């Protein structure tokens, strides 16, 4: 981990930006440019990271800068654009890193079978940090909770782990619903770290521990990351406001999240419940039905659909749903 990356990881990303942004991107060393991209992403400014990386590629035409741009595109959820960019990278020294990112992008796009196969082929050609990151990202995107828990434990027990990997592990731990694992990951991260992933983990840990004052503070910090239009920020703020019965605000955040993701099922489930509570019953029932077609099968989703149909006068539809589910 470079000293500049340490600066970002410890919550001083803005200082890194102040030091280097404003200079022509091509005049920076690769390590400096890497730190600037990481600083933008750590502050939730994913689109600024893309703009910066694109300027550097336009000036240098180097494959290592194209790879950096592909990572920035991945962070901004532009998965297909990142994949297309990887196809033009031909530097032999970057083959392993390119394959690693391809595996991660396949998982992000829902192609889990190919992503898992590609992830296995990556291990011999990259360092341990990147290999672990690929395993983490693929198991997380493909919702393989057992594999996800195992790789997070391995990351937490590994010395000299990369800061970006630890940040990703912290957020990934949320999907295991093992809050002891979340707390272990958070304990290794400086309090000054304000990356969206870490703030989301802190928000859920605070709610789980009923530290509502701390949750409000963290939610305020997360709101500052919305400039990037991030799915991750919008989704978790939507959930937070829903938990505290602020349904109008929750609806706004969840609609934003729905526009920013390919994985619509979990967002539709929450949004349907919020709309039901706001009295928008027909739309709530429609979204709940769509969520079921995308694989969502929770008891809360069934309740949302049945209540929405019943309250809007569609008793037969509600009764058929109860019999079917």
Q: What is the pLDDT of residues 265-287, one digit of tens each?
A: 899 999 999 999 999 999 999 99
pLDDT for position 144: 92
Please tell me the distance from the alpha carbon of residue 37 to that of residue 53, in angstroms, as a whole number. Answer: 7
Query: Half-sphere exposure (CA, 13 Å, Cβ side) for 210?
Result: 0
Tokens of 303: 């309740």
Supply the pLDDT for residue 1. 46
Predicted confidence at residue 286, as pLDDT, reads 93
φ/ψ of residue 21, rounded to 5: -70, 135
Would you mind telling me the total number of residues written for the chain in this entry?
325
Spans of all domains in the chain: 1-90, 92-174
Which DSSP helix (H) or strand (E) runs through 285? helix 281-293
H or E segment and range at residue 229 = none
pLDDT tens digits, 277-316? 999 999 999 999 999 888 787 888 888 989 899 988 888 8
The predicted structure's pLDDT at residue 249: 95
**What is the pLDDT, as a whole number, of residue 12?**
80
Residue with tokens 């898992």: 116
Closest Cα to residue 107, out of 142, 82, 77? Answer: 142
pLDDT score, position 154? 94
Residues of the chain with pLDDT under 70: 1-2, 227-229, 325
Per-residue pLDDT at 132: 93
What is the reported pLDDT for 227? Answer: 59
Per-residue model confidence (pLDDT) at position 217: 94
């Amino acid at each position: 981990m470079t000293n500049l990356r340490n600066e970002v990881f410890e919550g001083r990303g803005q200082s890194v930006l102040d030091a280097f942004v404003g200079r022509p991107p091509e005049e920076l060393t690769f390590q400096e440019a890497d730190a600037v991209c990481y600083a933008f992403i750590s502050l939730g400014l994913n689109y600024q990271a893309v703009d910066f990386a694109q300027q550097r590629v336009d000036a240098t035409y180097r494959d290592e800068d194209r790879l950096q741009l592909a990572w920035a595109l991945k962070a901004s959820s532009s998965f297909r654009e990142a994949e297309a960019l990887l196809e033009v990278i031909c530097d032999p020294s970057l083959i392993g890193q390119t394959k690693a990112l391809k595996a991660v992008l396949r998982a992000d796009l829902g192609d889990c079978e190919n992503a898992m196969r590609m992830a296995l082929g990556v291990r011999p050609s990259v360092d341990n940090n990147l290999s672990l990151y690929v395993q983490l990202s693929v198991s997380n995107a493909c919702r393989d909770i057992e594999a996800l828990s195992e790789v997070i434990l391995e990351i937490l027990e590994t010395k000299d782990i990369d800061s970006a990997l630890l940040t990703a592990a912290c957020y990934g731990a949320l999907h295991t619903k093992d809050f002891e694992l979340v707390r272990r990951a958070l304990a290794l991260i400086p309090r000054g770290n304000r990356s969206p992933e870490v703030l989301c983990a802190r928000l859920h840990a605070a709610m789980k521990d009923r530290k509502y004052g701390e949750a409000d503070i963290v939610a305020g910090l997360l709101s500052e990351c919305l400039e990037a239009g991030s799915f991750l920020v919008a989704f978790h703020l939507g959930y937070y406001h829903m938990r505290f019965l602020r349904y109008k605000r929750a609806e706004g955040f969840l609609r934003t999240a729905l526009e920013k993701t390919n994985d619509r099922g979990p967002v539709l489930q929450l949004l349907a419940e919020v709309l039901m509570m706001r009295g928008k019953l027909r739309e709530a029932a429609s979204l709940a039905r769509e969520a079921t077609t995308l694989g969502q099968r929770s008891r809360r989703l069934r309740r949302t659909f049945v209540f929405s149909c019943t309250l809007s006068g569609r008793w037969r539809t509600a009764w058929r749903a109860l019999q079917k589910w």
